[in-house]
Amino acid sequence: MSTQDHPLLQGELRLAGRLDGRFFDLLAALALTGSLQKAAKVAGYSYKGAWLVLDAAGALTHSPLVDTATGGPGGGGTRLTVEGEALLAAWRELQARHDAFLREQADWLATQPALDALLKRMSMKTTARNQFHGRIASVTPGPATTTVRVELDGGQAITASLTTLAAQELQVQTGKAALALVKSSEVVLVTDFGGYKLSARNQLTGAVSRVQRGTVSSLIGLTLPGGAVVTASVTNDAVDALGLAVGQPATAVFKAYAVMLAVRA
């Protein structure tokens, strides 16, 4: 198993808190080329920047890591000193051990399905504030539109409406793990239905747990039974009109077509 399968399982090796992989790429390129100008280009430094980082590293080791020769029968160039070669060799050994450690942890993680699934969910990066994890409970296909019902971990359910072509491409099927993504701007908060019923398929009732006021709008957090939180973006005028406050019961309403469905490939 590769650690790349788990984007959150990463570790960066640094020596003395400063000397990272880029620095050792510079040393390795110097050892190969004998030219600081060429090595700097390979490692992504400017010529001046390469000298600065080498001087700083030399201050840490209390001995120069490179030796510069100019002209002469052997020609000029920049070469690693004995200390520089020893440091590069130590880095390569430590890097191999570090990679082996990460592979060992990835193998262990594969034996922990719940934790493995959690990390995979966390690895998805999206601007949608609301990301609800659950399992597909039902799939109702139609000629053009397919309706998918996702049961959340907290016990609630969210209905998503997507094109039948998209459902086929996602290979949605009952029992599959899925993420339901909803932008905060798509969520309407209702504190009193006034005897009316709404056509929106998704209506999740909870209690206001956060009111984060901004210049023009506020972010309202609504905690559902089971602990899941729905975030809604509401104008400050609406917050004042509804008198939204922590502890107040409310219902988060959003249409099925506002739900983006993510299914692990």
CATH number at residue 250: 2.40.50.100
User: If DSSP states are collapsed to H, E and C, what string results for 102-133?
Assistant: HHHHHHHHCCCHHHHHHHHHHCCCCCCCEEEE
In this structure, the answer to whether residues 209 and 139 fall within a common structural domain is: yes
**Residue 217 lies inside a defined structural domain of this protein:** yes
Q: What pLDDT score was predicted for residue 1? A: 43
Q: Residue type for 63, please?
A: S
Q: What pLDDT score was predicted for residue 188? A: 95
Does residue 65 contact residue 54 with C-beta atoms inside 8 Å? yes
Q: What pLDDT score was predicted for residue 9? A: 63
Mean pLDDT, the chain cut into blocks of 10 residues (265 residues total): 52 83 91 91 90 88 83 65 92 89 80 68 63 91 94 88 92 90 94 93 94 92 90 94 93 95 81
Last residue of a domain, one of 77, 109, 141: 109
Total domain count, the chain = 2
In this structure, the answer to whether residues 51 and 22 fall within a common structural domain is: yes
In this structure, the answer to whether residues 8 and 31 fall within a common structural domain is: yes
User: If DSSP states are collapsed to H, E and C, what string results for 140-190?
Assistant: ECCCCEEEEEEEECCCCEEEEEEEHHHHHHHCCCCCCEEEEEECHHHCEEE
In this structure, the answer to whether residues 248 and 147 fall within a common structural domain is: yes
CATH number at residue 25: 1.10.10.10
